[in-house]
Structure 1
Amino acid sequence: MQSPTEADNQVRGILEMNAFDSKSASGQDDPALQRRLANVGAASVLFYRQPIEMVSALGAWMSAANGKRYLDCYNNVPCVGHSHPAVTAAVSKQISRLNTNTRYLVQVVDDYLEALKAKFPAELSNAVLTCSGSEANDLAMRIACKNTGHRGFIVTEAAYHGNTAYVTEVSPSSFKQGSIPDHVVTVPAPSRANYGDDIAEGFAMAVKKAISTLKIRGYGIAALLVDSIFSSDGVFGQPQGFLRAAVDIVHQAGGFYIADEVQPGFGRLGSAFWGFEYHQVLPDIVTMGKPMGNGFPMAGMVTRPEYLARFCEDVGYFNTFGGNPVSCAAGLAVLKVMEQEELQTNAHKIGQYLCSGLNSIAADHAAIGEVRGEGLFLGVDICQPDQPELADPAATVRLIDGLRDAGILAGAAGKHGSTLKLRPALCLSQAEADFFLDGFRAAARRL
């Protein structure tokens, strides 16, 4: 969708969507808000024009200081549910016993690494643990450059891959001013609006053109780096397998495919544990983070041993807190809970239920456009009622505020911030899905 006015046509940064504006008059009498702004200053990022003070969370719900409860359909970090007792117990037990770095042999670390590697194709048998997805993507990019001998990267137009200096360069949605550097080329998101009915062919040809541009500029192609559900671009997963053609072209040109699974990974898509698995492609490197520790900060990447060995010939890699025993205890508990509670199956089942409900509501409301996604990772376009091909970011903000009033947390995505982004905990029940649909229906009526 394209935006109808010059104001709405501007690209919205990932941190500007659904965010508090410290320059506004709203919240000036809130002591907790003023305390945060005084402490963090211009780097402060808070949701909503009137930020919420949270005090606790359990399962799919969060509770505010004023006693109001919110169904959390936004925060994909607590994938097995906020404050899950099994994760809490594992972290508490391990931190009371030992927490140190990976320079020592600690059984829980290798227990976790082996459990994690079991979720990957056999070729990807070396894992490096970090503290954030940004670090994981930074390392993946460096490995790609070393092994291909090239420095150019291809990402999508509204991509977000992290916040280190190197990774920010491949995160167009982070830029408030200026533009991406010369060694990075963007391609449009894999949507019907951009490529018509043959998304696979259109996206592959865009990638092929980007490779040519990088060669002309003298960089060559180091890697195609994409979030497998294209979250920041507006959530694009269909048709299943469309990524294969683009990845083949990258490999033929001597580049790597880095699958950024920080958001879609760990069973969220329901029908597959990973986004690359959903598209039936084999990455050269996979990065992950966010839901990995269910709130305990951990991330990592996996790759082929020969790729990692070649990189380590020059500089090696060590991360003081990456892969510490407490994080591995948390990660191992997450994998066990997902299996014991069949959360990937639940994501598939409840995701289909939500999609059906959202499409039913969309049929009765002209401002609700296309519903996209897989499992419990969904995007809903908000559009001009009389011109469905035109995005309406302002209405998206109103919808998010209406959901908040109904006790539901949601976010925005897309180049213009006109897509409602939904990522509830994988433990979401049908009753909780109904609560969301009721709130969404009521908020949609007021658009």
Structure 2
Amino acid sequence: MTDEGLVDRMALPRPDVTVADAEEILLAHYSLSGTLVELGSQQDRNYRVDSDRGRYVLKICHAAYETRELEAQNAAIHHLKSKPDAPRVPNVIATNDGREIVVLTVRGQGYQVRLLEYLEGRGLTELRYVAPASVAALGALCARLAQALADFNHPGLDRSLQWDLRRAGPVAVQLLSAITDSAARDRIAKTMVMAVRRIQPLAPSLRLQAVHHDVTGDNVVGHRNAHGHTIPDGVIDFGDIIRGWLVGDLAVTCASLLHQAEGDPFHILPAVTAYQAIYPLTAEELKALWPLVVARAVILVASGEQQISVDPENDYVRGNLDREWAIFDTAMSVPFELMEAAILKAAGADVAAPETSGWLPLLPDIDPAGIAYVDLGVQSPHFSAGNWLNSDMDWRLLARAATENGTAATRYGEYRLSRAGTAKKQATCALHVDTCLAAGSAVAAPFAGRIGWKDQHLTLTGDSVTLHLDGLDLSVEDQAEIAAGDPLGTVVGEASSLGGLRVQLCSVAGLEPPLFATPREAAAWSALCPSPSLLLGPEADAPRADSTELLARRRAHLAGAQKNYYAAPPQIERGWREHLFDVEGRAYLDMVNNVSILGHGHPKLAAAIGAQWLRLNTNSRFHYAAITEFSERLAALAPDELDTVFLVNSGSEANDLALRLAQAHSGARNMLCLLEAYHGWSAASDAVSTSIADNPQALTTRPDWVHAVISPNTYRGAFRGPNTASAYLSAVTPVLEAIDAGGGGLAGFICEAVYGNAGGIPLPDGYLQQVYGEVRARGGLCIADEVQVGYGRLGHYFWGFEQQGVVPDIITIAKGMGNGHPLGAVITTREIAQSLEKEGTFFSSTGGSPVSCVAGMTVLDIIAEEKLQENARTVGDHLKARLAALIDRYPVAGAVHGMGLYLGLEFVRDRTTLEPATEETAAICDRLLALGVIMQPTGDHQNVLKIKPPLCLSIESADFFADMLEKVLDEGW
């Protein structure tokens, strides 16, 4: 076809074939009738046909397209059907007389008609968020398809097509005439020129074969995996199949992903990695990939604008324009060189390093071994109590080190804590080195090059790299050519004072590189901005943490049952208030850590523990003031009747001891507990734990002295709503009667006063009053497990049992009472405590130690001083209202449970059946992690978000969590 013919075809509107016309065609040629729904297309007319024989797609194409082009599409489908590893493709449906293509005329216009099977599945285009797993699966599908087409040949593949990226430059020129906005037209034209300049030298090395050339979210369908991610496995349209560049096929796929990338071009990289693992591209093809993505973006916007001009009623094209401009803007948001480096690294290929042999010292009068490098990373000992939040903290530390040592410097590649934040794209990785040294220090050219000077910023551009310097009194002319070793100037500053010199290298001439990169982009930027250690010595490079290797070591030596959060967890090495920080300087909002009730890194607690440890730490059998004072304070927090305290190390130990007390005091062994409950991991506390999420065999492995009754779950239990106490008591009565009949007596009843493990569900009003009465009537003791829900977390109450208006016989506490220090307690009456002495004495070696007691008292002090219970009430009520508002908008959000800062948001697939959305909840938690929120599921069905952050949670942080959760529910996971 001539270029004129291609131009004419590019200007074609969709075929003028109505639904009525299509119905006649179907009946006449396929003996089919049914309901027709038009599907979007740029230049074809497509109808979905729902008939009693199945579902199909009727495709109507202009006669301007050669029949052999359509024959090639059909032949490719047949070819792929014979390949066992190829993606799913639709069947081609023949006419009544056996033809696969029908040539016909409608109102004087010639068209070609085909009928294909409708391939069921979910597309990607309608998704607002495409998970990395889906991105990788799309890349893998593209590779499998190309691999399966590698031996496919057909005369119809050699065609003139506006989407053929080999013709991108000329096609763009033809299309640009339709764009009336001159600024947009110029921008598009300049972009295409840049892309073509990078493609042309590589073009002779790019492989040709049959390629689909349109593996996009519109043209693939897939299934949902266990995490709710759409995994494409089928291809539904072959309208753009050609003999073209193999890498161009992947470029089309990558470009299609950019409108769902939130402006982040690195979003495509999982597709590149997956493609390369199946059907490897050459180094030249990998280098051509991003310019071809940009070229595709240009053609998309130019073609869309042009098509609207000839077919203004085409809502499909008009609806795509914003998406195509988003693709274009994202493609042009980063330098070509950066994406080339990122793609090469994603594919496991090498990125060429600049030539550095023969370089001379940058600071000729300073011994590199004498430079003191300051640790500004996440684990730096210089940081505590949030001091890194001071805007000048890094410079103050640098200047102090220089004052002490003479010359000091920061480290290249270090993830700076001072740069950490909750924003998704926070740039924390230093791509430069700042030095602090004597003003007037000489600075010399390490290599030959040309000088550039602008706004106190010097560049020295050599053959393969540019040196960027700030902080110089210049001693050479702008644009001067200088030799290696020639003086560049001296460090700015008055005599006998310190000055600063910023040093950065960049291999891209004319590019002003950023000083910091996001962790996601750090590897690619580091390839373009090599380390100044080449000029300052090897100590200028910060050590890198290998979190993957560290996790492997953990799993090699730590018992497998001792799990960690997340399949690919961030390496958390610092905390401050309600935030945690990983080794790359990423801040995460901690919404699950009820152990750290005060928040992380509290200076007063750290100081108190440290001071006590320096004085004394021993076991609780010694006589010292702290154990007396702490016991008195704990007893004072409990109801008057409960005046005696045991100090232990954990909640499991506290509950174990409480069970032993109940059995010793009552003389019986039988214990009543609730289903869906968790009380600990020790033999006794595990025995009364019935949560199948924690132990899948819990319901079939309880010892005979444990008697579990149905959980009073007012949301999904046997009886629903707040006024169900009597109904739930009726389920307890037969169990109590069976215990009575057995003659062994009842030792007691243990439960959380708010159903913590199920997501903070309050018990029905009056439930504990009634059950406590029945238990006590049989001589049993009532144990309130307050390990999770007590200590002010509920905001409106200090203890959970207060909400039920009861007083237990035994209170167990742990977790928050030590803010992470191993500390637990049992509070009971003197009489009950003395019952244990019949079995011998009791002690816990470190429970109640001087350090533990000081930790516990300091926590109580801080709770009071910082009004954390009041904060839990205020912030918790605000957050609960934010979460409740989600229920009206998102069907998956079933209910909000709890109060204060012990909340649970339960996800369901159906609000009538309450089918738990287990997989969705796990995927939501993973997406929240990517957005900077630590969140985990809870409950027997693992479908409830367990929201129990430090009690210092601010309104701003609560809103951040609610905003990110709303974003996930709105966009998908």
Q: Which residue of 2 aligns with 1:148?
A: 666
Q: Which residue of 2 aligns with 1:322?
A: 847
Q: CA RMSD in A?
A: 1.9
Question: Once structures 1 and 2 are overlaid, which stretch shifts more, 404-413 or 53-62?
Answer: 404-413
In the alignment, is the contact (CA less than 8 A) between 1:383 and 1:392 conserved in 2? yes
* Bigger relative CO (Cα 8 Å, ≥ 6 apart): 1
Aligned residue runs from structure 1 range 308-319, under 5 A: 308-319=833-844
Secondary structure (helix, strand or coil) at the match of 1:172 reads coil
The offset of 1:414, in angstroms, is 1.4
Amino acid at match of 2:969: A
Q: Which residue of 2 aligns with 1:224?
A: 749
1:96 counterpart = 2:632: no
Amino acid at match of 2:817: M
In the alignment, is the contact (CA less than 8 A) between 1:287 and 1:302 conserved in 2? yes
Indicate which of 572, 579, 582 corresponds to 1:61: 579
Render the CA deviation track for 1:279-327: whole Å, top value 9, x for unaligned: 2111111111000111111001011101111221222211111100101
Over 3 Å counting, the alpha-carbon distance change for 1:111 and 1:34 in structure 2 is: same
In the alignment, is the contact (CA less than 8 A) between 2:547 and 2:571 conserved in 1? no
The offset of 1:168, in angstroms, is 1.3
1:184 counterpart = 2:709: no
The offset of 1:242, in angstroms, is 3.4
Distance, in Å, in 2 between the alignment partners of 1:155 and 1:404 is 35
Q: Which residue of 1 aligns with 2:809?
A: 284
Over 3 Å counting, the alpha-carbon distance change for 1:420 and 1:217 in structure 2 is: farther
Indicate which of 176, 181, 196 corresponds to 2:720: 196
Render the CA deviation track for 1:249-278: whole Å, top value 9, x for unaligned: 211222111000110111000011111122
Amino acid at match of 1:188: I
Render the CA deviation track for 1:335-392: whole Å, top value 9, x for unaligned: 0111111110110111110110001112100000110101100011101157562211
Over 3 Å counting, the alpha-carbon distance change for 1:444 and 1:30 in structure 2 is: same
Question: Once structures 1 and 2 are overlaid, which stretch shifts more, 91-100 or 106-115?
Answer: 106-115
The offset of 1:179, in angstroms, is 2.0
Secondary structure (helix, strand or coil) at the match of 2:758 reads coil
Over 3 Å counting, the alpha-carbon distance change for 1:29 and 1:284 in structure 2 is: closer
Secondary structure (helix, strand or coil) at the match of 1:42 reads coil
1:106 counterpart = 2:624: yes
Distance, in Å, in 2 between the alignment partners of 1:265 and 1:252 is 26
In the alignment, is the contact (CA less than 8 A) between 1:36 and 1:44 conserved in 2? no
Q: Which residue of 1 aligns with 2:350?
A: none
Secondary structure (helix, strand or coil) at the match of 1:323 reads coil
Amino acid at match of 1:181: P
Q: Which residue of 2 aligns with 1:346?
A: 871
Secondary structure (helix, strand or coil) at the match of 2:672 reads strand
1:373 counterpart = 2:898: yes
Q: Which residue of 2 aligns with 1:75?
A: 593
Distance, in Å, in 1 between the alignment partners of 2:912 and 2:765 is 28
Render the CA deviation track for 1:225-269: whole Å, top value 9, x for unaligned: 112221113321155553222211211222111000110111000
Distance, in Å, in 1 between the alignment partners of 2:568 and 2:653 is 32
Higher gyration radius (CA) = 2
Aligned residue runs from structure 1 range 291-440, under 5 A: 291-385=816-910, 387=912, 389-440=914-965
Secondary structure (helix, strand or coil) at the match of 2:556 reads helix
Distance, in Å, in 1 between the alignment partners of 2:968 and 2:737 is 46
Amino acid at match of 1:434: D
Secondary structure (helix, strand or coil) at the match of 2:701 reads coil
Q: Which residue of 2 aligns with 1:31?
A: 549
Over 3 Å counting, the alpha-carbon distance change for 1:66 and 1:218 in structure 2 is: farther
Over 3 Å counting, the alpha-carbon distance change for 1:82 and 1:29 in structure 2 is: closer
The offset of 1:72, in angstroms, is 0.4
Amino acid at match of 2:676: A
Distance, in Å, in 2 between the alignment partners of 1:231 and 1:114 is 28
Distance, in Å, in 1 between the alignment partners of 2:807 and 2:650 is 23
Unaligned runs of 5+ in 2: 1-225, 228-545
The offset of 1:196, in angstroms, is 2.7
Q: Output the TM-score relative to the length of structure 2.
A: 0.42
In the alignment, is the contact (CA less than 8 A) between 1:75 and 1:425 conserved in 2? yes
Secondary structure (helix, strand or coil) at the match of 2:915 reads strand
Distance, in Å, in 2 between the alignment partners of 1:111 and 1:386 is 51
Distance, in Å, in 2 between the alignment partners of 1:325 and 1:150 is 35
Secondary structure (helix, strand or coil) at the match of 2:919 reads helix
Secondary structure (helix, strand or coil) at the match of 2:637 reads coil
The offset of 1:214, in angstroms, is 2.6
Secondary structure (helix, strand or coil) at the match of 1:196 reads coil
Distance, in Å, in 2 between the alignment partners of 1:134 and 1:74 is 19
Over 3 Å counting, the alpha-carbon distance change for 1:387 and 1:241 in structure 2 is: closer
Distance, in Å, in 1 between the alignment partners of 2:825 and 2:547 is 41
1:120 counterpart = 2:638: yes
The offset of 1:398, in angstroms, is 1.1
Q: Which residue of 1 aligns with 2:558?
A: 40
The offset of 1:128, in angstroms, is 0.5
The offset of 1:164, in angstroms, is 1.1
Secondary structure (helix, strand or coil) at the match of 1:313 reads helix
In the alignment, is the contact (CA less than 8 A) between 1:154 and 1:207 conserved in 2? no
